[in-house]
Structure 1
Amino acid sequence: MSPPVALLALSTASPLNCLRQDEVAVAARTLFQDRFPGFDRMAPVFSSAGIDTRQSAMPMEWYLEPRRWPERTEVYLNVAVDLFVQAAKRALDEAGLTGGDVDTIVTVSSTGIATPSLEAHAMERMGFRPDAARIPVFGLGCAGGTTGLGLASKLARATPGGVVLLVVVELCTLSFRMEDLSKADIVATALFGDGAAACVLRSGEGGFARIEGAAEHTWPDTLNIMGWRVGDTGFGVIFDRAIPPFAKNRLRPAVDEMLAAQGLNVEDVDRFICHPGGMKVIHALESALSLEPGRLDHERAVLAEHGNMSAPTVLYVLDRARRAGLPAKSVLIALGPGFTASTVSLSAT
């Protein structure tokens, strides 16, 4: 029997720039009202999103000017590497380890392109060994935190005693744009924030949780629900307004199937830890999972304080949940491009 995988440590890191939602709403009206004919119909999203503040790679003034892809990429590389280092060092410190103890580095990011990838840029600052395995993962979007944790656990299980470092970094605000506006761009301006999270895993005992299993479900013919479109100014968001009803109506059978493969059912789960993609998504998740309204309280709190940071967001929720005290059995859930549901099952230790 393969050894268990321990989740030894978890940390988060946010940029220093703070976006207050009320100020963003005023700036968006000034910028977009004359450029987007339907702005007045879209404007309530800023007050109904459930967000008070967000953190961003750059000060708000930076986003008020047109930016080309090279400018956005330069910011991505500089800020993402800094956040990588901050989150990774905090997680390793918590685990009582250093960069030199890391055998495998899994880096998840879908909001910018860097080759060499982020962990290569961070090698010297982190003190990673030259023989450390590097595994950069792109394209998972909002599911990246959960899927990345599942991947890291499989690598830890396959290399008994090896230390696996997972780092998830997303700078979603770099997709803010003033030209070629769509409804999805307005929603993104109201929802997106930036952040990073890191986890340290190792096969064996210890840590605050044990990873029991991971699973994914991708629905056919759903490529257009979520993703990026590529333009002259970089990535532009693809959001289909059908995401909340899709989750409400079709998530439960997929979750039942993923849990059944681990000998579980929904009733066995003490706490679902979900990616809060937005307030409507939270409501849809509570309905799909037969949770009482308001049950996803940590999700609401993270959304209010940080917005939707894409992949790291669910790990922020996990961090809040573990500080409140993880129950015996919890399951992480996130939805991302594909269109895919991703889950990771945890047992508290």
Structure 2
Amino acid sequence: MVTQILAIGTAVPSARLAQERTRDFFAAQPGVNRLTSRLIGAAFDQSAIDTRYSVIGGLDSVGDASSNSDVFTENRELLLSPSTGTRNLVYRREAPLLSAAAARDALERAGLSPADVTHVVTASCTGFFAPGPDFLLVKELGIPASAERYNIGFMGCAAAFPALRAATRIADAQPGSVILVVCTELCSLHIRSSNDPEQIVASAVFGDGSGAAIVASDPIPDRQAGPALQVGAFSTAITADGEQDMDWTIGDHGFEMRLTANVPRIIGREIADVVGPMLGGADVDAWAVHPGGRSVLDRVQGGLELADDAMQVSRDVLREYGNMSSATILFILQRILADHSLPEGASVVGLCFGPGLTVETARFTRVGTEAGSDK
């Protein structure tokens, strides 16, 4: 049975946050002392991020300020602290729109229509409601009401690979399936002004975005020819420690991220032992590494002894979008899928990191490059 990712679509909100201006916004908040100001400067300036996107707007953003800015800022100067319920209302309004935009992009790139979709798998950890985005995607896009729906919730930054793994299992078990996978994260909904170094880092690196993938198995439906990613093996591992270093809980004023300085060190120490057995000595033509932050990418590169160009796509996505949690890896895979320089049969390896610490890996083969041109 051959299962492929036929296309990947992406979407971001209209408000673009320039990192330097966003840094100055946080540094200007009441209660920020000299030490906190230095921590903010270091976190933002060393992030290797130039821009991020947000459904909030109002943080001295470029583009639409967004109607949500009044919920989170006063006169676009003071950062407010809305309740978790208020933040979730914004998620309920904005997440379906972004999910639908990414899904439409993926379907168009695949040359398929919503009527072709047989299953929907969604993943998110930045908001909750029911009936959820999976239900609204069916109604909004015109997917058949008989399409089976599944939601993967609160698995953090690594959730895209469990979502793709579930889609692959469905495709393998039910030949001819077309599964729409959508990962949408509105991380900026949970920002807050804080003197806590971990919260400052979170405010410096997370952004909003949505990625969607079309997964299908033989017989692959008729569509416009083009490159695809043939899905190979998945693996998952839990590091020896780190459960207390990356977690994501629900507080009274938003979801609270704990992301300590130990995370990159743990990943760097254990990544070779996790990836080695999965590779089995095989060559890799392209790497898709989740950019949890600049230091995470540095530790992965060092731990696996990778050349600079192997990390370039991951670093580019980090620089342009920040860490969009589970959606980020789909932005990276989309670029790899569109890379004209990769030959037929190119080997692609993906790595994602989530709470626990959990390391998710996936292998793909780029195929169909001779059948058509990239879109």
Bucket of the pairwise TM-score, normalised by the shorter protein: over 0.9
* Alignment of structure 1 residues 17-166 onto 2, 5 Å: 17-31=15-29, 34=32, 38-61=36-59, 62=69, 63=72, 64-166=79-181
Please give the alpha-carbon distance, in whole angstroms, between the structure 2 residues aligned to 1:229 and 1:32. Answer: 25
Deviation by residue 1:180-239 (Cα, 9 ceiling, x = unmatched): x52111001110110000000111257512001111112355321212122111201111
Counterparts of 1:1-349 in structure 2, within 5 Å, are 3-31=1-29, 34=32, 38-61=36-59, 62=69, 63=72, 64-178=79-193, 181-204=195-218, 208-257=228-277, 259=278, 264-293=279-308, 295-325=310-340, 326-327=342-343, 328-349=346-367
Q: Is the 8 A contact 2:206 2:322 kept in 1?
A: yes
Q: State how far apart, in whole Å, the 1-side matches of 2:178 and 2:101 are.
A: 18
Structure 2 CA distance for aligned equivalents of residues 37 and 103 of structure 1: 54
**Structure 1 letter corresponding to 2:362:** V
In the superposition, relative to structure 1, how do residues 33 and 73 fare at CA in structure 2: closer, same or farther (>3 Å)? same
User: For the Cα contact (< 8 Å) 2:23–2:40, is it kept in 1?
Assistant: no
- The 8 Å contact of residues 149 and 344 in structure 1, kept in 2 or not, is answered as no
Alpha-carbon contact 2:49-2:322 (below 8 Å) kept: yes
Larger deviation: 158-167 or 203-212? 203-212
Check the 8 A contact 1:274/1:314 in 2, yes or no: yes
Q: Which runs of 5+ in 2 are unaligned?
A: 60-68, 73-78, 368-375
Task: Identify if the C-alpha distance between structure 1 residues 335 and 133 changes in structure 2 by more than 3 Å, giving closer, same or farther.
Answer: same
Q: Is the 8 A contact 1:5 1:157 kept in 2?
A: yes
Indicate the SS of the match to 2:182. Answer: strand
> Which stretch of structure 1 is more off in the superposition, 91-100 or 127-136?
91-100
Q: When the two structures are superposed, what TM-score results if normalisation uses the length of structure 2?
A: 0.86
Q: Distance in 2 between matches of 1:190 and 1:84?
A: 24
Residue 80 of structure 1 contacts residue 170 of structure 1 at CA under 8 Å; is this kept in 2? yes
Any idea what the Cα deviations from partners look like across 1:107-137, whole Å, max 9, x if unmatched? Answer: 0000111122211123221112121111011
Residues of 1 paired with 2:144 and 2:260: CA distance?
43
Q: Quote the Cα distance in structure 2 between the aligned partners of 1:60 and 1:267.
A: 48
Q: What TM-score, normalized by structure 1, do the two folds share?
A: 0.93
Provide the rounded CA distance (Å) in 2 between the counterparts of 1:274 and 1:160: 30
Give the letter for the 1:250 counterpart: E
CA distance in 2, matches of 1:10, 1:159: 21
Q: Is the 8 A contact 1:142 1:335 kept in 2?
A: yes
Measured after TM superposition, the shift of residue 294 of structure 1 is: 5.0
Shift of 1:36: 8.5
Are the counterparts in 1 of residues 317 and 331 from structure 2 also a CA contact under 8 Å? yes
Query: Which whole-Å CA distance do the structure 2 matches of 1:278 and 1:163 have between them?
Result: 33
- SS of 1:112's partner is coil
My pick for the range that moved more, 310-319 or 264-273, is 264-273
Unaligned 5+ segments in structure 1 are: none
Identical pairs, percent = 31
